Chain A
Amino acid sequence: MTAMSKEELAAMPVEFKLNGKEVVGYGNETIIQAAKRYGVEIPHLCYKEGLRPDGNCRACMVEIKGERVLAPSCCRNPAPGMEVTSDSARALASQKMVLELLLADMPEERHTLDSELDHWAAKLKLGKPRFAAREQPKADLSHFGIAVDLDSCIQCTRCVRACREEQVNDVIGYAFRGEHSKIVFDFDDPMGESSCVACGECVQACPTGALMPARGAGLIKPDKQVHSVCPFCGVGCQLTYNIKDNKILYVDGRDGPSNHGRLCVKGRYGFDYVNHKQRLTKPLIRKPGAPKAADFTMDPANPLEHFREASWEEALALAGGGLKSIRDTRGSKALCGFGSAKGTSEEAYLFQKLVRVGFGSNNVDHCTRLCHASSVAALMEGVGSGAVSNQVSDVMHAEVIFLIGANPTSNHPVAATWIKNAVKKGAKLIYADPRRGDIARHAAHYLQFKADTDVALLNAMMHTIVHEGLVDKAFIKSRTLGYEELRKNVEGYSPEAMAPVCGIPAETIRVVARLYAKAKGSIILWGMGVSQHIHGTDNARCLIALCMMTGQIGRPGCGLHPLRGQNNVQGASDSGLIPMVFPDYQRVDNAEARARFEKLWGATLDPKPGLTVVEIMDAVHEGQIRGMYIMGENPAMSDPDAHHARAALAKLEHLVVQEIFLTETCYYADVILPATAWPEKTGTVTNTDRMVQLGRQALDAPGEAKPDLWIIQEIARRLGLDWNYAGAKEVFNEMRLAMPSIAGITWERLEQESCVTYPCENEGDPGQPVVFVEKFQTPTGRAQLVPADVIPAAERPDREFPYVLITGRQLEHWHTGAMTRRASVLDAIEPEPTALVHPLDLEAIGAEPGDVISVASRRGVVSLHARADDGTPRGAVFIPFCYYEAAANLLTNPALDPVGKIPEFKYCAVKLMKGGELAPRSSYGGGQTMAALKAG
């Protein structure tokens, strides 16, 4: 028999007495937890399940036989034979006194409807407190999302622990002394001016309403609560909407498997876009004579300037009829469709089916092409599956976390909290990114390598691993193919040779390579810094090879995890919103797969892979593609070389856009169909962890806006398809027939559990959080190692354009900003476009932080405010791509990775100049929604 570990010993059952009854607790739980299980209520305030017990409020004192003093039950573990009393006169007197003292300090008017202090005071039948109140601190209403009313604060430090230990944002502290002690933000700054990232975890933790959603949202009793999933990033946090009169009052984090109650600023404060006055509520038809040109703009607040309202019947007849006539006169290949990773998987599935069956080609794609197409290409080739091998939460089991080309504190904030938690627990973080994100603070090794040199850095790491004998020979022999070629290839990439290329000292490369290879478990997480290059596939191939040669896969706490960007990019890709594959990545040029889908769908299918996002735009310019149906995508903002993309959209004979706002893409539409926002519909989304989660309808759609599934079917009807899906459930059931990976997931189970991880091939399967345990999904069952050589970016800086432009996202804004720039809090925090430049580079062009600068590439120029940021490397500028007024994609280079067909968003040559003329302000953004709210 093996010896028991400390943890196992601590988890052993313990028999003890609670209020005279024999009970069984566990050595690793506290008395208050055991009591709760037995239905014994002990008052508590500073204790909250999930947070470290602190024992500071003393409301949970209990008597333990044989002990001189009372003990806080939130901090004590039961011991065998212990006799605990929580309701003796002595314990009660103590509990009541604590509550009464705190109650005396509470303001007349509470800031919350459910103060835990009031709850316990009522339970213990406390009357009016006998003590004088303290001098009350003033309210701090400096933050757009959070109201700070320290008159209700009981100094329980739940917010401090939520901020510092749970989310590890390190903003809230506890300062001053004695009666003056209070919580502070940074250096006792007003919250709105502190480094607070508004994750709202402190609000969720506060028991008394001292921290609350701003503008009294917490003082209204909701009509109903609806459990759903966050519509922003790929982490897939579960949440609960609190709704009153068809409006979301506020949002709470829910205990889902990927977030355990945590949210970020977008998931908590980013929902009032659904009520924005610019929502599309009626079908719109372009007026005759409304110009179509790349630089045509219009005011989203005033659609009737260039469009007229129409009935659904008329709009659908025009939308569907236009597509049908192009198909019938120009052929299937003259049409294409862009679906969206922001909709549900059912919508994605139906949309690609419409294109494949109704249009008759595979010209269907979506924004996965722009984010992780290269990662997916490399993964399909290497391991036979485009999804992650291990879930984000596995970082908690890893010894080493290798994070490259990602800025999770901005883009996957809740995933970042798990990484930070893992580091606090002892894991070593190796962080490699040309831009220093905030998470660098937690890294054991931060490698600020030169942009575009990923392959050099990774090959040098592999060189070290080969030369120091750190490879896993048994794994390579039994589970991989192509190691010899890989080994020979990395021979040419010694750390010494690569150090000047990637800018990281050879010894550092060796140290991190050893760390990665030797750890019991090393997990790799990567983002778009890896994928959005013309060598994005090669970058990902290197990561796969690194993982395989060291056998860091197939167990908890290791593996490969491309952090997926959008809430449903995994689900939309799985559902076949990709030109070369049917649902579940079954290739369209595979006759067997095609036969299966022809049988399922009762139609003849095109055996030729379709065109990708950027190729489609080129095909429009070449006159091949004449008509397009876009559901929820915004290529006018998200495509590289946006002017080229906009010109393509303008050139189309027929463009149908299904949207919730008049986006920049709608400017070129012939018909605009008003659709539903995420909280207004039901359907599934699949997060970065392969978790299929159910989003539930919480609100009624405004005006005549219709569910997307309904719209797709109406278009299908007008193309001669007789589809009659009653709702998401019916579509999902068909998807189960088409996709073996989710065949075992029933709709009923989703309704019950909200989340099921795939692969789940048979009903009742628990789902597999870790895959590739025994074999890979390639035809051979082995991982294919593919060597990669250094390929420089398509457009390098030169004398005329000496800087590198890096594009990406900001914490507060989502994708092209259509939603978040209309969400009051998010827009108020980040109201306008900025360019992030190193302070010394700013000095070099003679500009001060806050000055207007112009950034120009060979394709365009934008003017915007400069922000000093010493996390951006010298010689580079970072511009978020969500601002129409200074659209970063007017500058980017449409050069493509040859395999993944992903454009090089992370690298093009630009020049910086002081000065320039700012574009006129739009009718949304710029803090206007918040200003209107505050004005009432």
Chain B
Amino acid sequence: MKKPGNGSSSGKKGNTRKPKSTNGAGDSSSRLDPAIARWLVAAVAEFPASRSSTIPMLQSAQTALGYLPGDAMRAIARHLGVAPAVVEGVASFYAQFRFNAPGKHRVTVCSGTACYVRGSGKLMEDIQADLHIAPGGTTADGSISLESVSCFGACALAPVVVLDDKVLRQQTSASMKKVIQELSAGPPKGRTRSARSAPAARGARK
């Protein structure tokens, strides 16, 4: 049933959800999340309104926002003048795009051949059970995202888990349980210094 608050001149449903001004940053951008609005204003200026901008614009949104929020995808469809389903089709095809806000930390389990024969399959199952999430998911408290990668290229260290940008060698279910416990408790000093947290840390020292 159509909600009274949504809709448009044409009867198409949900058009406040899917604004349709031709100028990209239309009247409804004022109701967007400020971070998305900031990105959108810059992106509309940067990317020409043609279908070929789909992937670059998705990448730009993910770089700026950490993932692809629905509002950003809608704005992309609107700016490029393509069907929302086309943007969805492209974004969902590539593994590089994520649709949920990433956790503070990213745990990536290698599922490549060498790691797999050294037990990464079981390792992944146990981590999932510990975190109560599936690969691609983020814990409810937003602390950890879990991902899998086909080969990290560090086969000699198998099974490998990458925590943010730090490679953890020859992991076991027990060792990972400990890592996860520490992560959930808060970042112990020096352990998880990642590329993302480094500038902030430097800034703090100044």
Contact = CB atoms under 8 A, between A and B. Distances in A.
Interface of A: 144, 164, 170-177, 184-188, 193-197, 407, 409-410, 435-441, 446, 810-812, 828-832, 834, 836, 838-840, 848-851, 865-872, 878, 927
B85 interface: yes
Given A177-B94, A870-B27, A871-B20, 6 more contacts: A170-B83, A171-B85, A186-B88, A188-B88, A409-B10, A869-B15
A831 B4 CA distance: 9
A848 B92 contact: no
A754 B92 CA distance: 47
Interface string B78-114: 0001111111110111110000000000000000000
Contacts of B6: 849, 867-868
Given A175-B93, A869-B7, A197 B12 contact: yes
Contacts of B26: 870
Contacts, number: 156
B118 interface: no
A812 B4 CA distance: 14
A173 B89 contact: yes
Contacts of B5: 848-851, 865-868
Across the A-B interface, the 10 shortest Cβ-Cβ residue pairs: A173-B85, A849-B5, A850-B5, A865-B4, A811-B11, A170-B83, A438-B10, A871-B9, A186-B84, A175-B92
Contact of A195 (B3, B15, B88): B15
B11 A184 contact: no
A834 to B, nearest CB: 5
A266 to B, nearest CB: 11
Nearest to A806: B9
6 contacts: A173-B88, A187-B87, A193-B13, A437-B10, A867-B5, A867-B7
Q: Pick from B2, B15, B19, B87 the residue with the most CB of A within 10 Å.
A: B2
A414 to B, nearest CB: 14
B22 A440 contact: yes
A437 B1 contact: no
A868 B6 CA distance: 6
B14 interface: yes
A869 B18 CA distance: 11
A186 B9 contact: no
Nearest to B19: A870
Contacts of B74: 187
A186 B8 contact: no
B9 A437 contact: yes
Contacts of A175: 85, 88-89, 91-93
Contacts of A811: 10-12
B73 interface: yes
A870 B88 contact: no
Contacts of B10: 407, 409-410, 437-439, 811, 871
Nearest to A186: B84
A178 B181 CA distance: 35
B28 interface: yes
Main SS of chain B's interface residues? loop
Contacts of A868: 5-6, 16
A871 B8 contact: yes
B70 interface: yes
A29 to B, nearest CB: 30
B14 A194 contact: yes
A317 to B, nearest CB: 46
B27 A188 contact: no
A186 B85 CA distance: 4
B4 A171 contact: no
A174 B18 CA distance: 19
Interface in B1-60: 1-16, 18-22, 26-28, 31
Given A197-B11, A840-B27, A870-B26, A832 B4 contact: yes
B142 to A, nearest CB: 22
A188 B92 contact: yes
Contacts of A437: 9-10
B27 A839 contact: yes
Interface of B: 1-16, 18-22, 26-28, 31, 70, 73-74, 81-89, 91-95
Given A173-B86, A870-B28, A834 B9 contact: no
B1 A927 contact: yes
A643 B101 CA distance: 56
Contacts of B88: 173, 175, 184, 186-188
Contact of A836 (B7, B12, B70, B82): B7
Nearest to A433: B9
B9 A872 contact: yes
Contacts of A173: 83-86, 88-89
A195 B12 contact: yes
B13 A839 contact: no
Nearest to A188: B88
A648 B27 CA distance: 45
A438 B4 contact: no
B101 to A, nearest CB: 16
Nearest to B9: A871
Given A170-B85, A171-B85, A834 B13 contact: no
B34 to A, nearest CB: 18
Contact of B89 (A184, A435, A810, A829): A184
B137 to A, nearest CB: 15
A171 B83 contact: yes
A870 B31 CA distance: 13
A810 B11 contact: yes
A810 B7 CA distance: 11
Nearest to A867: B7
B92 A438 contact: no
Contacts of A410: 9-11
Contact of B93 (A176, A810, A849): A176
B11 A812 contact: yes
A196 B13 contact: yes
Contacts of A834: 4, 7
A918 to B, nearest CB: 11
Nearest to B74: A187
B16 A839 contact: yes
Given A184-B88, A187-B88, A865-B4, A193 B14 contact: yes
Nearest to A178: B93
Contacts of A177: 92-95
A344 B27 CA distance: 46
Contacts of B91: 175
Nearest to B68: A187
B109 to A, nearest CB: 20
A195 B84 contact: yes
B83 A174 contact: no
A193 B85 CA distance: 13
A149 B86 CA distance: 21
Contacts of A832: 4
A885 to B, nearest CB: 12
Contacts of B9: 407, 410, 435-438, 836, 869, 871-872, 878
A171 B83 CA distance: 7
Contacts of A171: 83-85
Contacts of A164: 83, 85
B40 to A, nearest CB: 16
A261 B147 CA distance: 47
A446 B83 contact: no
A167 to B, nearest CB: 12
Contacts of A867: 4-7
A865 B6 CA distance: 10
B203 to A, nearest CB: 36
A174 to B, nearest CB: 5
A617 B9 CA distance: 31
Nearest to A931: B1
A866 B28 contact: no
A452 B15 CA distance: 26
Contacts of A840: 27
A836 B8 CA distance: 7
A394 to B, nearest CB: 23
Contacts of A438: 8-10, 12, 20
Contacts of A831: 1-2
